Amino acid sequence: MRPDVLNPLFAESGSLKGVGPGLARPLEKLGLNRIRDLAYHLPDRFVLRRAVGNLDEAGLGEQIVIALTPRDYKQAAGRGPFRVMAEDAVGNYVALTYFGRASYTGKKQLPLGEKRWVAGKLEQFGQTWQMVHPDHVSEESGGMIGQLNEPVYPLSDGMTQGRLQGLVHQALAQLPLLPEWIEPGLAAKMDWPRWHEALPLAHKAQNVLARDRLAYDELLANSLALMLVRTSNRNRQGTPLVGDGRIRAKLNLPFALTGAQTRSIAEIEGDVAQGAPMLRLLQGDVGSGKTAVALHAMLIAVEAGCQAALLAPTEILARQHAETLTRMAVGTDVTITLLTGRDKGKARESILMGLIDGSIDICVGTHAIFQDSVSYRNLGLVVIDEQHRFGVGQRLMLTQKAKRTPHCLAMTATPIPRTLTLAQYGEMDVSRLDEMPPGRQAIDTRVIALERLGDVVDGVGRHVEKGAQAYWVCPMVRELETEDIAAAEARYAALRERFGDTVVMVHGQMRPEAKDAAMEQFSRGEAKVLVATTVIEVGVDVPNATLMVIEQAERFGLAQLHQLRGRVGRGSQQSTCLLLRGEALSETGRERLALMRETQDGFRLAEEDLRLRGGGELLGTRQSGDTPFKVADFEQIARLLPMAHDDARLLMERDGGLSSPRGEAARLLLYLFERDWGVQLLRGG
């Protein structure tokens, strides 16, 4: 149960004064459903204004506060602007300009002959000074004190800065006094304000100390929760799995294992032989051979008389894994089956019976393999592919599927910087596949201006005529009226007009059956061009596809571009990746695309992606490898996370854990940042 002292923070935003049906939707779009969400909705930036006595003291383009007296109204013909001609203290005139419906507001706020304090940006129109839509108008100078340093918040349609500021102010007024959870010596050394002081300060100005304090709180909550998971896991009773090698000796893989694969298998073998369940993350770049390592791990479980399950995030990926594992395990007599949500009737019943009686050794599937109706005779190992798509809570569900907690091997092909690995997988031991199998060819990567689109389409035509296949990736499913973004549906229509029914499409909004049918056509070679969104980012394996076109590549994160590029180069033929860039390319965007040409080392790209995004610049439609944090930015994660990790360990090992006075405060912190799954793992938590 959440401690009572926090309940006011988790009350709905609708309980605040002024929140009616009209504001409910904008608040929901922003994720501001509770008082706590508003309190932590920190400003993007601040508008700094200077109070001036007259216009001569101000500079063009400057944000100012000034006393003005309206002298005349001027309404332009037709739908032209409405101007209030106002005079400063020494006789200078400025036009306060309003457009559309705002004209009524301007006339009401600025009666002729009555002095008003006005805040806005001083600009020039012809030979006249002007302020377009002044930000604030007040009858008294005191009403402008809070506007000299004004927060600017992220908004959604239907929400204004003024309304959101008012709601945040109400939320901050409800902050309770909470005990300190940061180690006292550290808090004093960093000169951080207390929690209930830091939140209001972060909304008032660019207060680095307050922002760092709040970011540290979030990082400490995450570190502590992951540490609790790790501690709880070590205290659980697992089944030691000791394989005798008889099944693995029958494997006849068409390639030799790399040193990194051999090392990772040995680490896994050592873990599963222990009484405590394994919790290990296998990080491997695209094409580094994670599936072969996972197969060895699952065969150890089968040799030890247990079953293994592999969980994939999508049905396409699950089906592909089942086919790959079956092909690899030919001659071993191991029974591998696929179970998805689409399996019905007698076929499903047969699979369920095989899992119960143990005749199925390895089960591959989507989350359906952990539904209540699915039981295992003796589940010893679970492999989770593309771990970043499953939360810690979903991992904890696995404990319900076996008499003893099964060992868990999580895998990800998304390169993650070492700092973020600690942030997202701090409860796990980590194995890295940092070698590529011999003979894997480098992918020829080129950056091409979008204006050469016609040449690229012609190139796709020549590529297909030679019998090869191609991917064409777009940032979105369909275009929005407000943004000029390449959309898969429009590109699909254009390419299909050119190449006919050899073009198919896959995106996340399609029905699973339609997606699978399109992928089947492409996998069998019946379709030559696959137009897609990033749904193909992981797992799709078509060796004959040797060309990848990524439209508006500057809109993707580096790690995501690397993932998409990894869909080609999977066969013996030379492969090419074309990065089509738009006209508006920032210096950072240019550097990112240059890095894609320069290296194919996913781990290096991940580190560079973190460096380039350290200042908070978001260039992609979705930044692959995004953090699980809402308050801490990338720079703060890199700087403060190691400190938070050490502080969490200190609390658990020296300061009495969550049962100590500081631990009781830390328990509040876990609930505050909704890491209470860490608390639930404690007996009586």
Task: Tell me the average pLDDT of the chain.
Answer: 86
Residue 485: what pLDDT? 54
Quote the CA–CA distance of 409 and 278 in Å, as a whole number: 7
Q: Which of 419, 384, 204, 205 is nearest to 312 (CA)?
A: 384
Full set of structural domains in the chain with CATH = 1-44+161-175 (1.10.150), 46-152 (2.40.50.140), 248-433 (3.40.50.300), 444-599 (3.40.50.300)
pLDDT (tens digit per residue) in 105-164: 888 999 999 999 999 999 999 889 999 999 889 998 877 776 788 899 998 888 888 889
Quick check: 549 and 471 in contact, CB under 8 A? yes
Q: Over pLDDT 70: what percentage of the chain?
A: 90
pLDDT greater at residue 125 or residue 79: 125
pLDDT tens-place string over residues 599-652: 888 878 877 877 776 533 322 222 333 566 889 987 888 889 989 999 998 998
Q: For residue 54, how far is the Cα from the chain centroid?
A: 48
Spatial distance between the Cα atoms of 627 and 618, rounded to a whole number of angstroms: 13
Instruction: Compute the distance between CA of residue 208 and CA of residue 486 in angstroms, rounded to an integer.
Output: 38
Closest by Cα among 296, 291, 288, 294 to 250: 296
Query: In this model, does residue 538 exceed pLDDT 70?
Result: no
Residues with Cβ within 8 Å of 623's Cβ and at least 6 positions away in sequence, in order, are: 557, 560, 609, 613
pLDDT one-digit tens code per residue, 355-403: 999 999 999 998 888 877 888 999 999 999 875 555 555 555 655 666 7
Whose CA is closest to 223, among 412, 424, 431, 3?
Answer: 424
Token pair for residue 510?
Answer: 């399609």
Give the whole-angstrom CA distance, residue 519 versus residue 364: 19
Give helix 602-612 / helix 418-425 axis angle, nearest 10°: 90
Q: What is the pLDDT of residue 444?
A: 94
Q: For residue 73, what are its two tokens?
A: 């109204």
Task: For the chain, give the number of residues.
Answer: 685
Three-class DSSP category at 12: strand
d(CA 663, CA 660): 5
Judge whether residue 517 has pLDDT over 80.
yes
Over residues 6-42, the pLDDT tens digits come to 999 999 999 999 898 888 889 998 999 999 999 999 9
